[in-house]
Amino acid sequence: MKRPCNHCGKEKAALKRPKTSEQLCKECFYSAFEQEVHDTIMQTKIFRRGEAVAIGVSGGKDSTVLAHVLSTLNKRHDYGLQLFLLSVDEGITGYRDHSLDTVRRNELQYSIPLKIVSYKDLYGWTMDEIVKQIGTKSNCTFCGVFRRQALDRGAVLLKADKIATGHNADDVAETVLLNLIRGDLPRLARCTNIITGEDSPLPRVKPFKYTYEKEIVMYAYFKHLDYFSTECVYAPFAARGAARDFVKQLEQARPRAILDLITSGEAFRIGDAAQLKLPTPGNCERCNYISSQPVCKACILLEGLNSGQPRLGVARTRGSKRRAPDTLAGATPLPPVSSKSPPSNVLGQDPSSSASDQCSPALESVSKLTSSKLAEHPQDGSPTVPSQIDSAISKEPHSRGQPSRPELESSNISVGAQKNGYPSLAGLSISPSADEGQEGTASQLLASAGQPDTRIHPFLQMIKIWTLPAEA
């Protein structure tokens, strides 16, 4: 007996939503996914008509789906946004160079202009060179700090008004836990904000704040989007992994736990006594970037690298003043931001609203180019990486330096030859939906976009858990 879609009641249900456990056909899932993102944008008023928005893209599932959905909604609902793709080349051989190929294809597929900035050009170092100096214990600190500043610099070159990132509900829940464990009150108080640095020239927004990672994966898969599915080679050493694994366990026991963690973070308030201890934001005296110290974290890290003391900026400096470096090697001075006219009304807001509610013009001075509340990665600058598979999918222990291989159970997935620790795409067939007459091939999805059939990332395996059989 066929299972009808819980929404339309006409088509066969092809999947079960991880967030709500509804059984939906593909079209109803697309509609529900896109409508929820649209509702988030309208209710939180994160965009204003006429704004230039730089979408931070890496070629991965989150940023690729974000670019696709924002482009779709911008046309469908007439947001009036000018969209750009902004990518950062960290200089990670065998990873970032391949993912940038995906980003360049996305530029053509979505007809959105692309800007790529690199660590080498901005700082004089690549991540591979940094790892040779610092090792794998604290390398994510360097990457997170440099990446945040690189995104801001790239957005300035694009003359963007906002930066949109693909951080999803899982990322936000993990961040709440990390800040709670570390007792980091300032970041805990702001890490759930859907828009950070609201009073700065370059606010950052998270349209996927309430969107589950699993649903992003399913959307990308069923839509046959072109994305890069290999995680960073340094990701297994990131400190975020413990919080990620815990969140996955909570989600397995109770799917609502992710949203509950976010809600708890939103309800958190800092008392008056603790408020007095919060650092006062200012500007780095060397690069003009936002900093609560005379010299920002990026300049300190660079000073350590350039002086042969790579751990100089890794040690905790709370309570002590940082020595200003003599130079910011490799960093090109930021160009001035040209003056822009204030955009019109906020999306979802009455056009007759007062002028005081409108977006202020872009700042003229480079010294004011800061983002006062950059809270996307509150933990010591470690970047967000593709999440590991939860214990329902991967039961093998995670080994340092080698991503875990998910167990492949008997389902509608058949596995081909092994390659590099993952099942090869060649011979791996997945039935993407229950209403298709024949099986689709995962290798066809990537080959159609020009990607080689090399490896498949574990998160693609979660599709089998939420794809319903053709008949019950």
pLDDT for 24 equals 94
283-299 mean pLDDT: 86
- The dihedral region occupied by 469, where left means phi > 0, alpha psi between -120 and 50, and beta the remainder, is beta
Q: Is the pLDDT of residue 260 over 90?
A: yes
- The residues facing 87 across adjacent strands are 116
- Is the Cβ–Cβ distance between 188 and 176 less than 8 Å? yes
pLDDT for 436 equals 37
Residue 287 binned pLDDT confidence (cut-offs 50, 70, 90): confident
Q: Which ranges of 346-441 would DSSP assign to H, the alpha helix?
A: none
pLDDT tens profile 170-206: 999 999 998 888 888 778 888 899 998 877 789 999 9
Q: Is the pLDDT of residue 55 over 70?
A: yes
Q: Long-range CB contacts (< 8 A, 24+ apart) of 255-260?
A: 255/18, 255/19, 255/21, 257/173, 258/169, 258/170, 258/173, 258/212, 259/19, 259/169, 259/210
Residue with tokens 């059939």: 453
Task: For residue 339, count CB atoms less than 10 angstroms from its CB and return exposed for 0-12, middle for 13-18, buried for 19 or more.
Answer: exposed
Residue 455 binned pLDDT confidence (cut-offs 50, 70, 90): very low
- Is the Cβ–Cβ distance between 73 and 37 less than 8 Å? yes
Q: Which residue has the higher pLDDT, 297 or 393?
A: 297
pLDDT tens profile 366-421: 333 433 333 333 334 333 333 332 332 233 333 333 333 333 233 333 333 333 33
Please tell me the distance from the alpha carbon of residue 12 to that of residue 23, in angstroms, as a whole number.
9
What's 235's DSSP letter?
G
pLDDT for 175 equals 92
pLDDT for 340 equals 42
57-68 mean pLDDT: 95
pLDDT for 243 equals 84
Q: Is the pLDDT of residue 90 over 80?
A: yes
Sequence-separated (6 or more) residues with CB below 8 Å from residue 429: 413, 414, 439, 440, 441, 442
Please tell me the distance from the alpha carbon of residue 455 to that of residue 457, in angstroms, as a whole number.
7
Q: Which residue has the higher pLDDT, 159 or 348?
A: 159
Q: Is the pLDDT of residue 106 over 90?
A: yes
452-465 mean pLDDT: 48
Half-sphere exposure of 197 (CA within 13 A, CB side): 27
Q: Is the pLDDT of residue 119 over 90?
A: yes
340-355 mean pLDDT: 51
- The crossing angle, in degrees rounded to 10, of helices 139-157 and 297-306 is 120
Q: What structural domains does the chain harbor?
A: 15-272 (3.40.50.620), 389-472 (no CATH)
pLDDT for 408 equals 28
- Structure tokens belonging to residue 199: 């009073």
pLDDT for 435 equals 36
Nearest to 369 by CA among 282, 284, 289: 289
Q: Is the pLDDT of residue 87 over 90?
A: yes
Q: Is the pLDDT of residue 458 over 70?
A: no
Residues 288-310: b if buried by 16+ CB within 10 A, e if exposed: bbbbebebbbbbbbbbbbbeeeb
Q: What is the 3-state secondary structure (H, E, C) of 84-149?
A: EEEEEECCCCCCHHHHHHHHHHHHHHHCCCEEEEEHHHHHCCCHHHHHHHHCCCCHHHHHHHHHHH
Q: Which residue has the higher pLDDT, 408 or 436?
A: 436
- The residues facing 16 across adjacent strands are 23
241-265 mean pLDDT: 89
Q: Is the pLDDT of residue 10 over 70?
A: yes
Residue 232 binned pLDDT confidence (cut-offs 50, 70, 90): confident
Q: Cα–Cα distances in Å, from 155 out to 85, 99, 160, 461?
A: 10, 20, 5, 35
pLDDT for 183 equals 83
Q: Is the pLDDT of residue 165 over 90?
A: yes
Using DSSP's 3-state secondary structure scheme, residue 353 falls into: coil
- Structure tokens belonging to residue 271: 């008392």
Q: Which residue has the higher pLDDT, 115 or 187?
A: 115
Using DSSP's 3-state secondary structure scheme, residue 183 falls into: coil
- Is the Cβ–Cβ distance between 227 and 450 less than 8 Å? no
Beta strands in 168-275, from DSSP E residues, in sequence order: 195-196, 204-205
Q: Which residue has the higher pLDDT, 63 or 351?
A: 63
Mean pLDDT value across the chain = 73
**Top-confidence range, 132-136, 203-207, 252-256, 400-404:** 203-207
pTM (2 d.p.): 0.71
Side chain identity at residue 441, one-letter code = T
Among 172-181, 307-316, 381-390, 461-470, name the one with the lowest average pLDDT.
381-390
**Top-confidence range, 46-50, 414-418, 428-432:** 46-50
Largest CA distance in the chain: 73
Residue with tokens 């593709």: 386
Nearest to 160 by CA among 223, 106, 192, 115: 115
pLDDT for 36 equals 97
pLDDT for 372 equals 36
